[in-house]
Chain A
Amino acid sequence: MREKKREQYDVVIIGGGAAGLTAGIYCGRARLKTLIIEKALVGGLATYTNEIENYPGFPEGSGGLGLMELFKKQAEKFQVKFKLTDVKSVNFEGDKKIVETFRNIYEAKAVIVASGGRPRITKAKNEENYLFDKGISFCATCDAAANTDKTVMVIGSGDAAIEEGMFLTKFAKKVIVSVIHDEGKMDCNEIARDQALANPKMEFKWNTIVDSFEGEDHLDTVVLKNLKTGELDPVKVDNCFEFIGYEPNTEIFKEVLKLSKQGYVITNEEMETGVPGVFACGDVREKGLKQVATAVGDGAIAGVNAEKFIAEEEVFEKQIMQKEKVGLIYIYSAIDAPSRELLPTLQAIEKEYEDQVKLNVIDLYKGKSLCDRLSCDVEPMTIFYTINGEVESISTDCSVPAVKKKLDELVKQNKGA
């Protein structure tokens, strides 16, 4: 096996759906070297939708695939690179975040997780045997034409199930819908429900779930089970489409990010995951509404915050934790008078030690994330002494003699080194 190739990026985005592409547009436009890793087709789950009518800016509606191609074009305009493969593992422990695929190791200053979700399966008997090409599909747009004049079954009654089911009636001669609820009740919006009920090509099996899938090589029968009577109902079909929701693609993040019980990544409103430099956005997040429009909002926030994180990291490394001189980092608060009044005193000290001491002052509120990098809980009027880019000691004694004594000691040490 050849050795994996290492490549360096500012930002690596895992997932090329609406959220990842938007984050990419923001990062690329901020001139960050950005890579989007997508396991298959750029555009994510939106490309499974035949018609997107509620994404603003497209009054005539837009195909899912076409809309996502436009997103991708826009990202490419800002020099975002794409790699079409799946991520095998991640390591977010160090300052350099590691994202590993089967042939490459990518190192990034920040990572944005936008890995989205995938269609849920029924877990009924024999389902595994018929997935994708053997009769069970998750994409009406992809497989509708192959079902011209055929009988198909749709599992589910949410917006996706009913809207895609109606799309299938344009091709298939009959669309049988298995609905778990009582007659007339569906999970989709009312307009779709009324249209579906009035559609002569659609037939409904109420109170049913799938018991098993049957057929020689290819699916030919779906056995439904009536939840009320327990009765089994074998239905002859040519193909079956499952639209029963999604599950998150978070297997590789199990040990590294905080996940909800259902496996979604938990973030705050800034898309921060709790691991510095790692953000999450889009359907993979624990949140309410999952739409292209909300994924775009998430992606913008994640992109901007990744940029901010990298900029701060540079300030922190190059300026605050500089290696040339002995460092005197003073934490104050603009709203705390005693800590504020000490500023000129410390500036005078820095001047006295010209060429030997570098003073950095951080406002606890404005520079909170910089403070977090030094230590989790700091009070105003705290001094960090650094030597050679490392924190040597922390002190809350800000009296001039104490500060000078410490600096004399460190300057001597620094000269000796």
Chain B
Amino acid sequence: MKEVELDCYGEACPVPLVKAQNKLKEMEVGDVLIVQIDHSCAMKNVPEWARKEGHNVEVEEIDDGEWEVIIEKMK
């Protein structure tokens, strides 16, 4: 099981979502992808997309307006 960090700081929608989708495709089931974002728009579509796909999602607020979306690939 590996953990991958994806730096999306400074990137606006839909860039973080597209990057996260591409990255997750390369990963194995059980791996964890950590998407780092600081645009609130990505907080609406990245967790929602990942949950809809059936993955486990949790978000950590690192700082005011900075988040890590933690996605555990489930399938």
Closest Cβ of chain B to A104, distance in Å, is 9
- CB of A86 within 8 A of CB of B41, answer no
Question: Can you name the residue of chain A whose Cβ is closest to the Cβ of B20?
Answer: A133
Closest Cβ of chain A to B42, distance in Å, is 9
Question: Can you name the residue of chain A whose Cβ is closest to the Cβ of B14?
Answer: A133
Query: Is A85 an interface residue, CB under 8 A from the partner?
Result: yes
A172–B45 Cα gap in the complex (Å)? 21
A-B CB proximity, top 5 nearest: A84-B59, A142-B41, A41-B43, A133-B14, A85-B58
Per the 8 Å Cβ criterion, residues 19-75 of B in contact with A are 21, 40-41, 43-45, 47-49, 51-52, 56-61, 67, 72
- CB of B61 within 8 A of CB of A40, answer no
- CB of A132 within 8 A of CB of B43, answer no
Question: Can you name the residue of chain A whose Cβ is closest to the Cβ of B39?
Answer: A142
Knowing A132-B48, A133-B18, say if A85 contacts B41 (CB, 8 Å). no
Closest Cβ of chain A to B5, distance in Å, is 18
- CB of B58 within 8 A of CB of A41, answer no
Knowing A47-B44, A86-B51, A139-B41, say if A103 contacts B13 (CB, 8 Å). no
A103–B32 Cα gap in the complex (Å)? 14
Knowing A41-B40, A86-B51, A146-B13, say if A132 contacts B57 (CB, 8 Å). no
Closest Cβ of chain B to A382, distance in Å, is 50
User: In the assembled complex, which residues on chain B have CB atoms less than 8 Å from the CB atom of A145?
Assistant: 12
| Of the residues A40, A133, A143, contact of B59 by C-beta under 8 Å | A40
Knowing A39-B47, A132-B48, A133-B18, say if A143 contacts B56 (CB, 8 Å). no
Knowing A133-B18, A146-B14, say if A85 contacts B57 (CB, 8 Å). yes
Question: Can you name the residue of chain B whose Cβ is closest to the Cβ of A40?
Answer: B47
A86–B49 Cα gap in the complex (Å)? 13
Q: A82-B61, A133-B17 are in contact. List 5 more A-B contacts (CB 8 A).
A: A84-B58, A86-B51, A132-B14, A132-B45, A145-B12
Question: Can you name the residue of chain A whose Cβ is closest to the Cβ of B43?
Answer: A41
Question: Can you name the residue of chain B whose Cβ is closest to the Cβ of A65?
Answer: B40
User: In the assembled complex, which residues on chain A have CB atoms less than 8 Å from the CB atom of B60?
Assistant: 84
Query: Is A48 an interface residue, CB under 8 A from the partner?
Result: yes
Per the 8 Å Cβ criterion, residues 140-163 of A in contact with B are 141-143, 145-146
Query: Is A129 an interface residue, CB under 8 A from the partner?
Result: no
Per the 8 Å Cβ criterion, residues 100-127 of A in contact with B are 101-103
Knowing A84-B61, A85-B57, say if A133 contacts B49 (CB, 8 Å). yes
Closest Cβ of chain B to A4, distance in Å, is 12
Knowing A40-B47, A146-B14, say if A47 contacts B58 (CB, 8 Å). no
Closest Cβ of chain A to B1, distance in Å, is 11
A86–B57 Cα gap in the complex (Å)? 8
Question: Can you name the residue of chain B whose Cβ is closest to the Cβ of A84?
Answer: B59
| Of the residues B44, B51, B52, B67, contact of A48 by C-beta under 8 Å | B44
Closest Cβ of chain A to B33, distance in Å, is 15
A7–B8 Cα gap in the complex (Å)? 32
User: In the assembled complex, which residues on chain B have CB atoms less than 8 Å from the CB atom of A47?
Assistant: 40, 44
- CB of B44 within 8 A of CB of A142, answer yes
Question: Can you name the residue of chain A whose Cβ is closest to the Cβ of B21?
Answer: A133
A39–B45 Cα gap in the complex (Å)? 11
User: In the assembled complex, which residues on chain A have CB atoms less than 8 Å from the CB atom of B49?
Assistant: 131-133
Can you sample 28 A-B contacts with CB below 8 Å?
A40-B43, A41-B40, A41-B43, A41-B44, A48-B44, A84-B58, A84-B59, A85-B59, A86-B47, A86-B51, A102-B57, A102-B58, A102-B72, A103-B58, A132-B17, A132-B48, A132-B49, A133-B13, A133-B18, A133-B45, A133-B49, A139-B44, A142-B13, A142-B41, A143-B14, A146-B12, A146-B13, A146-B14
What are the interface flags for A30-74 relative to B under an 8 Å C-beta threshold, 1 for contact and 0 otherwise? 000000000111000001100000000000000001000000000
A146–B14 Cα gap in the complex (Å)? 8
A48–B67 Cα gap in the complex (Å)? 18
